[in-house]
């Protein structure tokens, strides 16, 4: 799980919660069901079964893989529309091409993030490049959907290609954890992702036995999803492992700890930490559209069917496939 790493974390800025921070309790730990997306891409549905009031402004998150493809196996989905929210695709291992009906596109690989603001709508495709299809190989990533407030739902679409080398790297006082701030900020350290809805997204790697207690904005919610390994969450050390999500309650700090012993194929605890300012608006979500009312959903489908969200380029230079983004 390379993402972005450093030889010596102690060369990085160090972060810890102040002594008077109020620890966030753990309200729930849920296990993500496994499923398949598109043409048969394996995913874990990280937020399944969690009440939306604990997720807002996040809508869903899929862990894509971790999967070792044989030659000819890499899969994806056909062109598909989006309207009303943002998709965040974070590639930990492997490589992906993406393209949209507005002419945007590019390639993201180890540690890169593609942040797409669908806004008023577009057609989009993500696909493994032909070279990966031919060779096979490791693929592992995340896709997160972030809601947009009503005032921004029909804004012009926008892309941000965030290279792994641009993420803000931090550590804890003892150097036991590497914190990658992809978007938002942590203790005044700003990540590169520009967000419409205020959020923080961090990929943390904790060495065996390491513990992090991070300052967390009190007006944000708090979520932790385990990508690999095992550990505990909260000051009461509630157990958590691969494929589980912890929901934190109110407070100004959150705590995650890695178990002393990890699985043989996973040297560290890998966890994604998410916080966001709840939008607190009605949400109407169906398939690739996230709006505020059923009427707006119907309008989105009508606009898609009438070609108002764009048309697939005649020559798009990509195979018809890629996980839904």
265 known member of a binding site: no
126 known member of a binding site: yes
66 known member of a binding site: no
Instruction: Establish whether the linkage from the previous residue to 293 is cis, with ω within 30° of 0.
Output: no
Name the token pair of 24.
């966030």
Phi, psi of 255 (to 5 degrees): -120, 135
98 known member of a binding site: no
Q: Which parts are annotated binding residues for Fe cation?
A: 80, 82, 124, 126
Pick out the residues of the known binding site. Answer: 80, 82, 124, 126
């Amino acid at each position: 799980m390379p993402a972005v790493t450093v030889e010596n974390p102690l060369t990085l800025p160090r972060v810890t919660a102040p002594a008077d921070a109020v620890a966030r309790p753990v309200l729930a730990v849920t296990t993500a069901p496994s499923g398949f997306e598109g043409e048969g891409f394996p995913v874990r549905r990280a937020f399944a079964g969690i009440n939306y009031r604990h997720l807002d402004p996040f809508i869903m998150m899929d862990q894509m893989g971790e999967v070792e493809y044989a030659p000819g196996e890499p899969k994806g989905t056909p062109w598909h529309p989006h309207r009303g929210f943002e998709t965040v695709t974070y590639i930990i291992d492997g490589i992906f091409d993406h393209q949209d009906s507005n002419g945007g596109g590019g390639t993201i690989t180890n540690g890169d993030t593609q942040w797409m603001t669908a806004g008023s709508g577009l057609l989009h495709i993500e696909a493994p490049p032909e070279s990966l299809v031919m060779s096979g190989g490791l693929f592992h990533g995340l896709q997160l959907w972030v809601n947009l407030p009503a005032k921004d739902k029909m804004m012009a679409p926008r892309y941000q290609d965030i290279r792994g080398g641009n993420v803000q790297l931090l550590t804890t006082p003892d150097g036991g954890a590497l914190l990658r701030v992809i978007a938002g900020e942590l203790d005044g350290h700003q990540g590169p992702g520009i967000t419409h809805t205020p959020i923080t997204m961090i990929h943390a790697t904790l060495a065996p036995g390491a513990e992090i207690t991070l300052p967390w904005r009190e007006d944000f919610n708090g979520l932790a999803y385990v990508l690999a390994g095992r550990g505990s969450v909260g000051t009461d050390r509630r157990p958590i492992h691969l494929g589980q999500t912890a929901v934190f309650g109110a407070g100004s700090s959150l705590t995650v700890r890695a178990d002393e012993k990890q699985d043989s194929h996973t040297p560290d605890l890998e966890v994604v930490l998410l916080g966001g300012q709840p939008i607190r608006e009605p949400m109407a979500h169906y398939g690739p559209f996230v709006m505020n009312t059923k009427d707006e959903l119907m309008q989105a489908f009508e606009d898609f069917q009438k070609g108002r969200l764009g048309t697939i380029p005649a020559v798009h230079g990509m195979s018809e496939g890629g996980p839904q983004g």
